[in-house]
Amino acid sequence: MRILCFGDSNTWGYIPGTGGRYASDVRWTGVLKQLTGFEVIEEGLNGRTTSFTDAVEPYRSGLDYIAPCVLSQLPLDYIVLMLGTNDTKTRYHVSASEIRRSMQEVIWRIRDMLGRNASEARILLVAPPFLKAQSDFEDFDAQSEQKILRLEKEYEELAREMDCTFLKAGDFVTEMGVDGLHFTPQGHRALAEAIAEKLNNMHRK
């Protein structure tokens, strides 16, 4: 089994407080590989959004990169998508429903690439967990916190509409690091275990 994990800094393995990167056996993608024995392809990028970009953080649009990414990584059995946190940054001025529509575009583009290559890879859509806006970090605010919470319902509905499997990361990642945004090692493991169980259930169907 080959799994493409497409996400942002929490897929990349950003260490809260230092900006370094967790070792491969700490990142949820690495733990997922250990738990399942599947081949796991890490495609995390700090600051990545569903489709939004700007001059401050260029080249961050997942929509712009997802097609060549999928094509370069074929064949694939599963694609795990976890994006949306960075979309809630104050400078983007978008709502949870607009983030949902952007994620829908990402899924459509994936499906187009899979269809062109006769691939039946299945998609697991993961709603990112909560965030805690820090007073000394202006990128996120109280509205960002509320948008993330609303995304859980938006993504669950989207997964149902688009025939994707859904997972709410907030059910398993119950604390954040000191920056309020990034997973602790315990959070990485908890998410990996949840995704592993979900993928195994998908594999049996």
Q: What is the pLDDT of residues 69-96, one digit of tens each?
A: 999 999 999 999 999 999 999 999 999 9
Q: Does residue 76 contact residue 40 with C-beta atoms inside 8 Å?
A: no
Q: Find how far residue 105's CA is from the centre of its chain.
A: 15
pTM of the entire predicted model: 0.97
> In whole angstroms, what is the distance from residue 52 CA to residue 148 CA?
16
Cis-peptide, bond into residue 75, ω within 30° of zero:
yes
Q: Does residue 195 contact residue 22 with C-beta atoms inside 8 Å?
A: no
What pLDDT is stored for residue 138 in this prediction?
A: 84
**pLDDT band at 122; cut points 50, 70, 90:** very high
pLDDT at residue 202 greater than cutoff 90: no
Eight-state DSSP code of residue 55: S
Helix, strand or coil, per DSSP, at residue 44: strand
Which amino acid is present at 102? S
